[in-house]
Amino acid sequence: MQTVIFDLDGTLADTSGDLIAAANACFRKLGHGDLLSPVKDQLTAFHGGRAMLRLGFDRLDLPWTEAEVDAQYPYLLEYYRENIDVFTKLYDRVAPALDRLATRGVPMGVCTNKPEDAAEILLTRLGLRDRFGAMLGADTLPVRKPDPEHLFETIRRLGGIPSQSVLIGDTMTDRKTAKAADIPCVLVTFGPEGRAVSRMEPEGLLDHYDDLDQVLAAVMRTS
């Protein structure tokens, strides 16, 4: 039985608006105002909180250190947890696609670099948590993506095996994780990079969740 593992941010849901808002809350607290754009900086948002903070500090054109990023990160997480689904929305037709897999008995899990508690809250509020038999966050294990053990453990908790699994994601982190695990990778094309993600040479591209079944079938035939 095929096991399907999903990333969360930028794959199941567009979380960039709430992530950017959390980073901007940090900069406002420091007296700098909003430094990041929810439109132009969407891709950076999907690379995590520290990436957003670094980008904002760069825009100040003032010297800064990684210690300043570390100092703001807890507040970013606090603000984000309290405002986790203000702007976030599922990508089109995600729920019906997951329901089709569930009807066929396909085990599904989430492997995300979002903190586990935040991922649990968000998936619950989005009405998706019960679709997934396993959900591992950035702090569930001592390691996280792109370390393949993060992905392997997600598969194990579903009772699956790597040779019959696939990872669906949106960034180079997901591609590197799948490659290190020797597992096929499907990258979505409805994120900020569009079909430019093809440069990462995934085994499949997903243009719309209505196409999920066909894409998974094609990937598993060729893997």
Q: Which residues are catalytic, by number?
A: 7
C-alpha span between 193 and 208 (Å, rounded): 14
Is 191:172 a contact under the CB 8 Å cutoff?
no
Token digits for 55? 């980008």
What φ, ψ does residue 122 adopt, rounded to 5°? -65, -45
Helix (H) or strand (E) run with residue 49 in it: helix 49-59
Is 33:23 a contact under the CB 8 Å cutoff?
no
- DSSP one-letter code for 60: T
Burial letters for 124-148: b for 16+ Cβ neighbours within 10 Å, e otherwise?
eebebeebbbbbbbbebeeebbbeb
